[in-house]
């Protein structure tokens, strides 16, 4: 049995005196359900889009706003949502987020027009920005025993990594056998169960000290910056990188982010205390989540296209084809958090996962129009599942470890923000790269015959070429992530992994502009 003993007596002593919440595992089930709802929503709505477009009669150009409306609201308000959970209490914020998300989903499911559906999706994003970081911060403050915390974050990380693939399966079933509207109505069912669980099981400790104040200027700066960043990448996906709107919003995001950092250094009640981000392990974790989010986009989007368009799988069969990846991800997440992370730390586990993901993406670059699922896709999915199960739980757990209780919400929000920004970057870059590769291939390999069969074959070859080109860049993302995480995460014995429970971060570090001092490395004894 592995026993973790801190070399810092004040921290180990504080841990020993804390009494674990007897309802903590039921709290985990409730939080996991809420997280699954948020993660599922993005994928199931994508599956429902063609049917919704036909039913509500909107154009291909308008279609992107069903996705963009959500991502803009969600991405720009995440830090505010995380801070609100610190201000009004995590249980209250959690329940408000659940009810609001369910109401917005019901509105979208009942939509009779394009505008109504877009408005409902934006409203989903608003409440999702409150719900997602609150769910993670509830987990952060509930599990204070290192071994149990590892198990809890293993479950949470597995859901964060596998939710998209589960959404493909669920979305295919709902769209094919029921209606596209049930891709939104299903959230109401999940939210009702989660609200009941939150009311009974989620516990919010009493606040100690004065209630913190909301940093209004900081909130406006970072919300505008994140809005501009997400919109800029979304515009690049639709209008291209030469669009003035693309570079205008991306440049504006850079200016606003610089202004936000300057203000946070001077603010008496900063929205995002900079010690949270400049801590090397947390900074490395946020960077790893961003890179993994960007790389994972290529797996789900382009592989879904390949399976449906080249292999001719129906939506349900396409969803089922991702199940082996989910199973491997869940297995890896449990092994990582319970066995490998306590022993080796994030400096080994995250680069290992990134390297494995690079191998998985390389396997996908070998696909052709004649490839098979069992012989070519399944091995890559198994490798990628184990890779993501090694990256996500370790990064998420390290990103929230040792954060003071009053900052748990905003620190958790940074995890979601990193994932959202990574997804936006991946969407814009990989879609642009794939579209360019498709055009170039068709230009260079125009069919010599104008028969329908020759044109179809050339189109299929071009599509596969565009997908494999995107996989090469996805592999480059993960390779860069392996190098960066290996350089940034601290070595064992240098603060690389400590066991301080939330709320036990050293106070002298909290107000330092430099990198804060960290608890000593725990000793692992058998």
Phi-psi region of 57 (alpha: psi -120 to 50; beta: other; left: phi over 0): left
CA distances from 460 to 153, 264, 313, 412, 436 (A): 41, 51, 15, 43, 15
Residue 310 lies in a domain: yes
Residue 520 lies in a domain: yes
Alpha helices in 20-145 (DSSP H): 24-56, 60-88, 90-109, 114-142
- 466 with 522, same domain: the answer is yes
Q: In 3-state terms, what secondary structure has residue 209? A: coil
Which of the listed residues 252, 270, 288 is the one where a domain comes to its end?
Answer: 270
- 485 with 421, same domain: the answer is yes
Residue 448 lies in a domain: yes
- 169 with 31, same domain: the answer is yes
Contacts of 473 (CB under 8 A, 6+ apart): 298, 429, 430, 433
- 449 with 518, same domain: the answer is yes
What's the sign of the alpha-carbon dihedral 29, 33, 35, 36?
Answer: positive
- 341 with 458, same domain: the answer is yes
Tokens of 86: 């610190």
Backbone angles phi, psi at 279, to 5 degrees: -55, 125
- 295 with 403, same domain: the answer is yes
Q: Which domain holds residue 492?
A: 1-18+279-526
**E strand or H helix at 26:** helix 24-56
Confidence of residue 104 (pLDDT cuts 50, 70, 90): very high
- 291 with 355, same domain: the answer is yes
Residue 210 lies in a domain: no
User: Is the pLDDT assigned to residue 431 strictly greater than 70?
Assistant: yes
User: What CA–CA distance (Å, rounded) separates 364 from 377?
Assistant: 7
Residue 255 lies in a domain: yes
Mean pLDDT in the chain?
77
pLDDT of residue 276: 77
- 320 with 431, same domain: the answer is yes
User: Is the pLDDT assigned to residue 285 strictly greater than 60?
Assistant: yes
Give the residue-averaged pLDDT of 101-111.
91
Q: Could you give the number of structural domains in the chain?
A: 3
What is the DSSP secondary-structure string of 189-215? Answer: HHHHHHHHHHHHH---PPP-SSPPPP-
Backbone angles phi, psi at 367, to 5 degrees: -70, 145
Confidence of residue 358 (pLDDT cuts 50, 70, 90): very high
Backbone angles phi, psi at 5, to 5 degrees: -125, 120
Which of the listed residues 270, 289, 308 is the one where a domain comes to its end?
Answer: 270
Confidence of residue 10 (pLDDT cuts 50, 70, 90): very low
**E strand or H helix at 156:** helix 146-177
Biggest CA pair distance of the chain:
78
pLDDT of residue 503: 41
Looking up residue 98, the CATH number of its domain turns out to be 1.20.1250.20
């Amino acid at each position: 049995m592995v026993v973790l003993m801190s070399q810092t007596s004040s921290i180990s002593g504080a841990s020993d005196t804390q009494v674990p919440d007897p309802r903590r595992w039921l709290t985990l089930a409730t939080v996991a359900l809420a997280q699954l709802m948020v993660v599922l929503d993005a994928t199931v709505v994508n599956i429902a889009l063609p049917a919704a477009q036909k039913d509500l009669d909107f154009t291909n150009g308008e279609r992107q706003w069903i996705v963009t409306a959500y991502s803009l609201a969600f991405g720009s308000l995440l830090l505010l949502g995380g801070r609100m959970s610190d201000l009004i209490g995590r249980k209250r914020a959690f329940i408000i987020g659940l009810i609001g998300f369910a109401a917005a989903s019901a509105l979208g499911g009942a939509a009779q027009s394009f505008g109504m559906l877009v408005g409902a999706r934006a409203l989903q994003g608003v409440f999702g920005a409150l719900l997602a970081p609150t769910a993670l911060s509830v987990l952060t403050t509930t599990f204070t025993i290192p071994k149990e915390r590892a198990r809890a974050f293993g479950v949470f990380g597995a859901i964060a990594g596998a939710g998209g693939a589960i959404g493909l399966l669920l979305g295919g079933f709902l769209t094919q056998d029921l209606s596209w509207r049930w891709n939104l109505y299903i959230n109401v069912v999940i939210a009702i169960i989660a609200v009941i669980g939150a009311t009974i099981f989620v516990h919010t400790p009493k606040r100690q000290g004065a209630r913190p104040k909301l940093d209004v200027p900081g909130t406006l700066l970072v919300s505008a910056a994140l809005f501009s960043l997400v919109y800029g990448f979304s515009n690049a996906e639709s209008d291209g990188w030469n669009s003035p709107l693309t570079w205008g919003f991306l440049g504006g995001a850079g200016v606003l982010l610089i202004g936000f950092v300057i203000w946070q250094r001077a603010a008496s009640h900063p929205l995002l205390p900079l010690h949270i981000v400049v801590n090397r392990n947390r900074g490395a974790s946020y960077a790893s989540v961003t890179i993994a989010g960007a790389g994972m986009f290529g797996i789900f989007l382009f592989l879904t296209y390949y399976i449906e368009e080249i292999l001719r799988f129906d939506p349900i069969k396409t969803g089922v084809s991702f199940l082996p990846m989910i199973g491997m991800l869940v297995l890896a997440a449990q092994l990582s958090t319970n066995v490998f992370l306590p022993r080796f730390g994030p400096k080994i586990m995250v680069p290992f996962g990134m390297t494995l993901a690079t191998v998985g993406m390389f396997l996908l670059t070998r696909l052709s129009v004649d490839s098979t699922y069992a012989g070519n896709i399944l091995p890559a999915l198994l490798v990628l599942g184990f890779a993501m199960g090694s990256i996500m739980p370790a990064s998420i757990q390290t990103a929230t470890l040792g954060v003071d209780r009053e900052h748990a919400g905003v620190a958790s929000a940074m995890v979601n923000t990193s994932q959202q920004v990574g997804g936006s970057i991946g969407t814009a870059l990989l879609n642009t790269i794939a579209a360019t590769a498709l055009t170039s291939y068709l230009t260079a390999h125009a069919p010599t015959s104008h028969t329908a069969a020759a044109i179809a074959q050339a189109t299929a070859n071009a599509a596969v070429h565009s997908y494999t080109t995107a996989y090469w860049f996805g592999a480059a993302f993960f390779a860069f992530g392996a190098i960066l995480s290996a350089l940034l995460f601290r070595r064992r014995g240098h603060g690389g992994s400590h066991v301080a429970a939330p709320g036990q971060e050293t106070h002298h570090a909290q107000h330092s502009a430099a990198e804060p001092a960290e608890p000593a490395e725990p000793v692992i004894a058998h």
